[in-house]
Amino acid sequence: NASELYNQDGTSLEMGGRAEARLSMKDGNVQDNSRIRLNFLGQVEIQDGLYGVGFYEGEFTTADNGGPTDSDSDSLTNRYAYAGLGGTFGEVTYGKNDGALGVITDFTDIMAYHGNSAADKINAADRADNMLSYKGQFQDLSLKASYRFADRNDDTANNVGYTDNGQDGYSLSGIYAIGETGVKLGAGYADQDKNNEYMLSGSYTMGDLYFAGVFTDGEKDFDRQYKSSNASSIGSKFTGVQDYTGYEVAAAYTLGQTVFSTTYNNAETGSDTSADNIAVDATYYFKPNFRGYVSYNFNLLSASDKLGTSTVGTKGA
C-alpha cells in the first residue's frame, strides 16, 4: 500500500512497496526467495487535464547461500523506471515499463506465488527498458500499447558507426468490461523480430467467486530471443523458430479473510510439452496490508518432456 509523503501546490510524492519472506522447498531442499520491493510515484499538475509523472521501483533480494553473514551478494533489480505525461487522453511514458500483454496474463496470474507459466510473453510485450508506452481508460474499455526500441551499439571504433541489436518490437492490448455483468474480455498482440504472439482472455466475477482463462499462440525464435543475458533457460531446450501454444485457467474463492486460488497451465513448444502444472494456494489476510500464504505446485511434466521455463510456474507478480 502506498503512503503519501508530500502533497502541496499540485505536486505529490507517494512511497509504496512490500517486504515478503518466502521459503521455497523442492524435494525437501529449502531456498530463501525473500524479497523487498520499494517504489516511488511522483506527480505534478501542469495545467487542467495535464500532469507529469515519474515512477521507480526496485527489488532487493539476498543470495548469501550459506556464505558469510552480511555478505556483498545482495542484489538490486530495477523493475520500473519511467517518466512521462498524463491527462484525459491517458498516459504516455518512456523508460522501463510493462508491455501491453501483462494486463492480459493478469487475468490468470492471481496466485500468491505459483502460476503464469504457460502464457509466456515475448520480451517486447513484457517488462522492458527503452520502451515507449501508452495506457488509457475510457469507461468500460482500457487500452494499452508499447513500442520497444532496438538498443544502440557503438561500432565507431571499427569504422562501422552506430548499429542496433534488431530487438525492436511492439505490443497492443484491449480489455472490455461488459457493464455490471462481472464479465471482462481481453485481447492482445505482440511482434518482435521473428517472434509474434496473440493472446485472448476472459474472466467472470460472481460475488466471492472468480474464474478466468488465457489462450496464447504464436512463434518464438529461440536462437535469438531467449539468448539475451536476462532470458530464462527455455533457450537451452529449443532451437530455431518454434510454434508456441499455451493456455491457463484460474479460479479463486474468498471466504472471509481467506482467499483460495488454483490454476492450471499447459504449453506446447513445437511438438513438445513445455509446461504442464496445477497449483493451489491459500492466503490469509490478517490486515489488508499484512497476509500470509501457503502455495504448492504439482509439476505434471514427464521425463520425456522438455522443460519450458526455469521457474516451472513460480513467476508470480
Number of domains the chain is built from:
2
Determine the Cα–Cα distance for residues 100 and 90; give it in Å rounded to an integer: 14
Specify whether 133 is located in the same domain as 81: no
Tens digits of residue pLDDT in 133-146: 999 999 999 999 99
* pLDDT at position 75: 83
Specify whether 22 is located in the same domain as 62: yes
Determine the Cα–Cα distance for residues 243 and 195; give it in Å rounded to an integer: 10
Tens digits of residue pLDDT in 273-313: 889 999 999 999 999 999 999 999 999 988 767 664 444 44
The average confidence (pLDDT) of the chain is: 89
Specify whether 69 is located in the same domain as 124: no
Amino acid in position 188: G
Q: Which of 85, 89, 173, 56 is nearest to 126 (CA)?
A: 173
Specify whether 223 is located in the same domain as 78: no
Q: 130 or 237, which is more confident?
A: 130
Specify whether 85 is located in the same domain as 162: no
Tens digits of residue pLDDT in 213-250: 999 999 998 887 655 433 444 545 778 899 999 999 99
* pLDDT at position 310: 43
Report the share of the chain in percent with pLDDT over 70: 88
Amino acid in position 230: N
* pLDDT at position 15: 98
* pLDDT at position 302: 81
* pLDDT at position 74: 62
Tens digits of residue pLDDT in 248-257: 999 999 999 9
Specify whether 146 is located in the same domain as 286: yes
Specify whether 76 is located in the same domain as 138: no
From 50, 68, 92, give the residue that closes a domain: 92
Q: Report if pTM > 0.85.
A: yes
Specify whether 282 is located in the same domain as 224: yes
From 47, 68, 92, give the residue that closes a domain: 92
Specify whether 9 is located in the same domain as 65: yes
Specify whether 64 is located in the same domain as 114: no
Q: 1 or 99, which is more confident?
A: 99
Query: Which burial class, exposed, middle or buried, applies to 313 when counting CB atoms under 10 A from its CB (0-12, 13-18, 19+)?
Result: buried
Tens digits of residue pLDDT in 2-13: 899 999 999 999
Domain that holds residue 285: 98-317
Residue 45 pLDDT > 90, yes or no? Answer: yes
What's the angle, vertex CA 237, arms to CA 234 and CA 241, rounded to 5?
80
- The answer to whether 311 and 295 are in contact (CB under 8 A) is no
Residue whose C-alpha cell is 515478503: 20
Residue 72 pLDDT > 70, yes or no? Answer: no
Q: What is the CATH number of the domain that holds 174?
A: 2.40.160.10
From 69, 92, 115, give the residue that closes a domain: 92
Report the share of the chain in percent with pLDDT over 90: 68
* pLDDT at position 165: 82
Specify whether 175 is located in the same domain as 302: yes
Specify whether 105 is located in the same domain as 79: no
